[in-house]
Amino acid sequence: MVSKTLLGSTVREIEKKIEEHLLTSFEPTLAVVFCPVTVDVKYLSDLFTSLKIDLIGASSAGGIFNDEIVEQGIVVLLTDLDKSTYKIQFLEGNYDSSFRTGQKLSSYSFDQFQSPAFILFFSMTFNGEALIEGIGHGHNSPLPIFGGMAGDDSAMLESMVFSNDNNSYQGLAALVLDSEQLEIDGFSFCGWQPLGMVNEITSAKENQIFAINDKPVLEVINDFFGSFEPITPQSDVLSVSNSMYPLTLLRQNSSVMRAPLRLLEDESLLLAGPVKVGDRFQFAMAPGFEVIEQTVKEGKDYFQHAERPDMVLLISCKARHKALGPLMEDEINGVYRIFEQPMAGFFSYGEIGIQHRPNGSEYLNETCTIITIKQNL
């Protein structure tokens, strides 16, 4: 199995680079693509269809090309994965239907493979937590599920996923893999440190918080962030300084992050993932350079006994990028050096990965999520 990464500023540039590869013995079967939301994905889809290459992809809040961060380019990972080892499934859905959409995907996938694994790209309309629960419903052990929520260059309006025949702002594009023929693995690392008292969410709906500790959420946030930058209902998107302080939800046997996105007109706080009334949390503080070293160390330790993968995807939270700033380049470079293999990825609005192995896959924010695939010989 061979994988190659391409970078271009336009679809036409990508087309030329693919044509160059096709002049060699390389015969790609699958393309994973991450691009700005402004790209003409119909043109993109038609290109890969004409080349008889299966396509799956998502709009991004920035791309990752090997060891580089790409702000406006189209990132492509081409691979000659055997077509018998994967299927692409595209489904429409929204926040309320996420669990049922996950069930539909699971039913389809188990009809295709005895032991499926999943790489998911989904639009902002989905509840990532419910999607995972729907896929795993009725199964006794955790299923290998990885992926991320599509971005829209930080506009926070609408994001898109696409395949050869479909594209949607309310879609789920799923790469379903046969884990009997492929080794699929993944690892998510956060590194944020809990800060201050334990709080309780006392009024919330979906990914929107109205009250914390029985106080209006705006009052609590202004009290906490006052020394950084006061927040008013007129604020569109939270500042970089305030994005460094996400919520650490204290779940049984684990903790997961929820990144703040923006304050809404009704003075509620919109998050990049769902919460529930009664959830307990601490605000968290972004660490310094040590988090980069820790990410790379944790990645090396996790994959040290694994064979070198054939394909590497990296999905990193856009809020993490904002908080770490230029340090993000060091993290991307460090992850790339673990494998020294072609690597493609994007900055997302939420990640699906595994932080705590016994818990299986979770919907996360503020993480660096690595996904590896290797074809069994």
Pair 8, 128 in one domain: yes
Pair 43, 149 in one domain: yes
Pair 273, 336 in one domain: no
Pair 185, 301 in one domain: yes
Pair 126, 35 in one domain: yes
Residue 82 CB coordination number (10 Å): 14
| All residues at 6 or more sequence positions from 350 whose CB lies less than 8 Å from its CB, including other chains | 128, 148, 149, 272, 273, 317, 363, 364, 365
Pair 324, 202 in one domain: no
54-59 and 30-35 strand pairing = parallel
Last residue of one domain, picked from the residues 267, 285, 303: 285
Pair 200, 164 in one domain: no
Full pLDDT tens readout for the chain, 377 residues? 999 999 999 999 999 999 998 888 999 999 999 999 999 999 999 999 999 999 999 999 999 999 999 999 999 999 999 999 999 999 999 999 999 999 999 999 999 999 999 999 999 999 999 999 999 999 989 999 999 999 999 888 899 999 999 999 999 999 999 999 999 999 999 988 888 899 999 999 999 999 999 999 988 888 877 644 444 444 444 455 456 678 999 988 788 999 888 788 898 988 889 999 999 999 988 777 888 888 889 888 888 878 889 999 999 999 899 888 899 999 999 999 999 999 999 999 999 999 887 789 999 999 999 999 999 87
| Cα angle, residue 66 at apex, residues 169 and 348 outer, rounded to 5° | 30
Task: Check: CB of residue 344 under 8 Å from CB of residue 76.
Answer: yes
What per-residue confidence (pLDDT) applies to 133? 97
Count of residues for the chain? 377
Pair 72, 109 in one domain: yes
Last residue of one domain, picked from the residues 285, 315, 346: 285
Domains held by the chain: number: 2
What per-residue confidence (pLDDT) applies to 244? 67
Pair 177, 41 in one domain: yes
Pair 215, 253 in one domain: yes
What per-residue confidence (pLDDT) applies to 194? 87
Q: Dmax over Cα atoms in the chain, in whole Å?
A: 65
Which structural domain range is residue 213 located in?
193-285
What per-residue confidence (pLDDT) applies to 226? 67
Pair 64, 182 in one domain: yes
Last residue of one domain, picked from the residues 285, 314, 339: 285
Pair 231, 153 in one domain: no
